[in-house]
Amino acid sequence: MKSCYIENISSISPQNTFGTEEFLDNIVERNPEMPYLSAIEPDYKLYILNAGLRRRMSHVIKMGVAAALECAKGSSVENPDAIITATGLGCLADTEKFLNSIVVNHEQLLNPTAFIQSTFNTIGAQIALILQNKGYNFTYVHRGFSFETALIDAMMQLTDDEATRVLVGAIDEITPSEYEVTKRLGFWRNGAVMGEGAQFFMLSSEKTESSYAELIDVHQFQLKDNEKADDRINSFLDKHSLTMKDVDLVVLGNSGDKLLDVPFQNFKSEISSNTPTAEFKHLCGEYHTAASFGVWCIANILKRQKLPFAMHPNGKVDKLERVLLYNSYQNVNHSIYLLEAI
């Protein structure tokens, strides 16, 4: 595939990541009264100008649309050739709202707004409507593979010259009942913390002065019998004629769950102690598309040539030219990303 450059990025997350020049300088800890990491929301009036539209939009739509518009605005071309969104659970609050109205109103005289907005491609569609974008518009909804397929799709578009700029974003929200259900399912029993957020990336086939990083490749996989993640990571590097020695930093998407993080422990023990590692899910929380926060961090690391203390508290790095991200969702959906400095 052809080179693919990250021209602009944006993030609405549980950290101060939106509308600021700082990069994880002042870490926001979880509110001890809350069991999860909620996103810090901007003043949406500044981003979604139509008041009626803004009022109708749910939390996840506002996060997605504001992050997308901010990312597009800071790019050399505001209107991309394609818009690709990724989400694990889509517009969950609207889904619950409509389900609730079915039960409470006994299926009669229901307001369609929540139903309309519950559709998984609502955020991608709203971005297109606001930008009056008539191009390719896809939404991927596959757990810990949603964001990965979105990036692969974008890279294919750029390689085929079907697009020169693709806006790719990942969005997921927390709802109180989702927290209760996942808690009952044991998701937060072993150390992981639930999170949410919206990350958008303007990908371009052209390098510009302000580009953040080059996205070299993305690979998603499920482990077959007796297979280890290390083998897949090594063969991924091998495909690019690289070994772990050529990687300056490994960013790990471990969730903090001591049972599910086993592949990360194995991987860390495999790689040489000369390769520094960093983490990010303690900052954004765990969700289907949390890897997008990791990619947002790496784009910043490569552009600013700075590794935040919060991601890598003990140690130092010699250089920051090539970064590998290994992510896993529930130890089922695994993915590897390779990024390089411009």
- In the complex, the residues that contact another protein under the rule CB under 8 A are 1, 83, 88-90, 95-96, 98-100, 102-103, 106-108, 110-112, 115-122, 124-126, 128-129, 132-143, 145-146, 149, 152-153, 156, 159-160, 177, 180-181, 184-185, 220, 222, 224, 288, 332
Longest dimension (CA), the chain: 65
* Nearest-angstrom CA–CA distance, 58 and 149: 25
Q: Look up residue 180 and give its two tokens.
A: 């209760």
The CA-based dihedral angle spanning residues 219, 220, 222, 225, taken in that order and rounded to the nearest 10 degrees: 0
**Selection from 18, 24, 29 nearest residue 309 by Cα:** 24
In the complex with another protein, which residue's Cβ is closer, 3 or 16?
3
In the complex with another protein, which residue's Cβ is closer, 121 or 300?
121
For the bound state, the minimum distance from the C-beta of residue 87 to another protein, rounded and expressed in Å, comes to 9
For the bound state, the minimum distance from the C-beta of residue 206 to another protein, rounded and expressed in Å, comes to 20
Report yes or no: 77 and 159 within 8 Å, Cβ to Cβ: no
Report yes or no: 288 and 60 within 8 Å, Cβ to Cβ: no
Coil/strand/helix, residue 33? coil
In the complex with another protein, which residue's Cβ is closer, 29 or 107?
107
For the bound state, the minimum distance from the C-beta of residue 316 to another protein, rounded and expressed in Å, comes to 37
For the bound state, the minimum distance from the C-beta of residue 109 to another protein, rounded and expressed in Å, comes to 8
In the complex with another protein, which residue's Cβ is closer, 29 or 109?
109
For the bound state, the minimum distance from the C-beta of residue 12 to another protein, rounded and expressed in Å, comes to 21
Handedness of CA 206, 152, 10, 54 (dihedral sign): positive
For the bound state, the minimum distance from the C-beta of residue 312 to another protein, rounded and expressed in Å, comes to 31
In the complex with another protein, which residue's Cβ is closer, 122 or 328?
122
Q: What is the C-alpha end-to-end distance of the chain, expressed in Å?
A: 17
In the complex with another protein, which residue's Cβ is closer, 151 or 323?
151
Residues with Cβ < 8 Å from 259, sequence gap 6 or more? 190
